Amino acid sequence: MMLRRRAAITSLALALPAAALLTWVSDRWRSADAAATLERVVRSQVNEQVRERCESDPTWFLTGPLDGRPPRGVPDPNPDALPPRPKVIPQPFELFAYDEEFVGSSPASPRFPDEFKRSLRRETKPLSGQFDTDNGTGVQFVVPTGWVGTTCMYFLGRLRPPVDYHSRRWWTFGGIYAVCAALGWLAMTPMVARARRLSRDATSAAREQFASIAPDKLKDELSAVAFVYNDAAMELHNRRTRINDLDEQLRRHVAMTIEDVGGTLAAVARDLQDAKATGADANLTPALLGVHQAASRLENLAAAARLRMTGELPKTAVDLKALVARVTERHTPLARAAGVMIKVFAPNESVTTAGDDALLERALANIVDNAIRYNRAGGHVTIELERFRDRDGFAVRVTDDGRGVSEEDFRGLTAVRRFRGDEAQNRRPGAPGLGIAVAREVADRFGLQLELRRPREGGFEAVIATR
């Protein structure tokens, strides 16, 4: 899950309890404010004008549901019977009068709260509390008027919650929740931005061979991660430098070995060829083939070492006509010794590609070497270089008319998809050797393809071409 998405989910999750707590605090604050307002209003009613109005009409004195007053001509009800309260429209604020026995002077008066009765019998003092309604919880306040012996000895004031109290409460909760979630997201945005910047810097540093990243000015866990990464990047950079140095030393060692041993073998091969040409010894052909095979195997080992040690091979412009000419010239003595003729077909214009000249030459040399070695006396090897006219590409086709390969051997050759490095150790009869593996790996490294075919007329064909 992305860091930004996690931050959003965390903000929403943390905003839920925060919104619930703030909504409860808001309810408590509103209740306290309503209680204070109710107390001021009820206390303000304890005056002579209200007393005169209450004593002149004690039965129906109330400052609330005035529509509960019976019509004129109807006898007053018995206050001791405590008839049920008339079905009137409740008002937000109501005020009722009670005598010393806590009996209301109006049938619309609610029953005096029992908890207030017990407290007032012990001590005469103003009291506040709550009462339940169909729309929520209201606040109530009772104050002793001090008018002893009257029906207006106690005033009970009630303040009901608004009609849309519950919807307002939910709207309040939703608003607080949205604000808390937004504040949480805004609080996490700088941290998320720093984490993403650290990730980008680390990725960029890794692409630049583990260079150090700019340290964060703040001193927290993210800054500590940046410092740890810089230490690890420095260690990786040092190790990479040491590996590159060892890689370069090994390449130089392999190159010098090839130069010394390969040069000696080539000289021996030339001497053997000259000796055979002068008729000094008619049994020099096996020795010549053996020397050439040893030199080829040594060069394949050098190419395999380069392929295994090097990650990104450098590319230069390679003249394919010159490359084919060098391979042909080098394998002509071997072909003569084996009784095979090499034919070369190349276009007049130059054909170039991007790659490594030595590795591409080794790949083509392996294919030509196999075409000569597995041919027959009097056979032919054709090397054809073709430039594609319709697109920028080429194909080097090596065809022989030798004995070919069996179906089983052909499946083994085509199964070699990537270079492993242990092909030279494989001694199974008919198993593909190091040469075909090196040729296929070189082709893959430079965006080419190696295709092996079995022509109907016999022999074998290998093609190195652009994809």
Dihedral of CA atoms 367, 371, 373, 378 in degrees, nearest 10, equals -160
The reply to whether 34 falls in a domain is: no
Grade residue 326 by pLDDT with cuts at 50, 70 and 90: very high
Give all strands of the β-sheet with 448-453 in edge-to-edge order: 341-345, 380-387, 394-400, 460-466, 448-453
Residues in the chain: 467
270 and 336 fall within a common domain: no
User: Angle, to 10 degrees, between the axis of helix 320-338 and the axis of helix 263-277?
Assistant: 50
Q: Total structural domains in the chain?
A: 3
Mark whether 323 and 337 lie in a shared domain: yes
Task: Please give the average per-residue pLDDT across 315-320, as a whole number.
Answer: 93
213 with 286, same domain: the answer is yes
Q: Check whether residue 320 and residue 467 sit in a common domain.
A: yes
Greater confidence (432 vs 111) lies with 111
- Would the CA dihedral through 445, 446, 449, 452 be positive or negative? negative
Please report whether residue 193 resides in a domain: no
- Does any domain span residue 225? yes
pLDDT-based confidence at 323, cuts 50/70/90? Answer: very high
pLDDT tens digits for range 97-128: 888 889 887 777 888 999 999 998 888 899 99
* E-state strands within 243-291: none
pLDDT of residue 388: 87
Band (425; pLDDT cuts 50, 70, 90): very low
Taking only the tens place, the pLDDT of each residue in 11-26 is 777 778 888 888 778 8
Residues 108 and 257 in one domain: no
Q: Give the number of other CB atoms < 10 A from CB of residue 372.
A: 24
Same domain, 347 and 366: yes
Does the pLDDT of residue 315 top 60, yes or no? yes
CATH of the domain at 146: 3.30.450
Does residue 239 lie in a domain region? yes
**Are 134 and 163 contacting, i.e. CB atoms less than 8 angstroms apart?**
no
Range of the domain at 420: 313-467
Tell me the pLDDT tens digit for each residue of 204-259. Answer: 766 666 666 555 555 665 666 666 667 777 777 777 777 777 666 666 656 666 66
In sequence order, what are the beta bridge partners of 156? 96, 142
Picking from 163, 194, 220, the residue at the C-terminal end of a domain is 163
Residues 411 and 372 occupy one common structural domain: yes
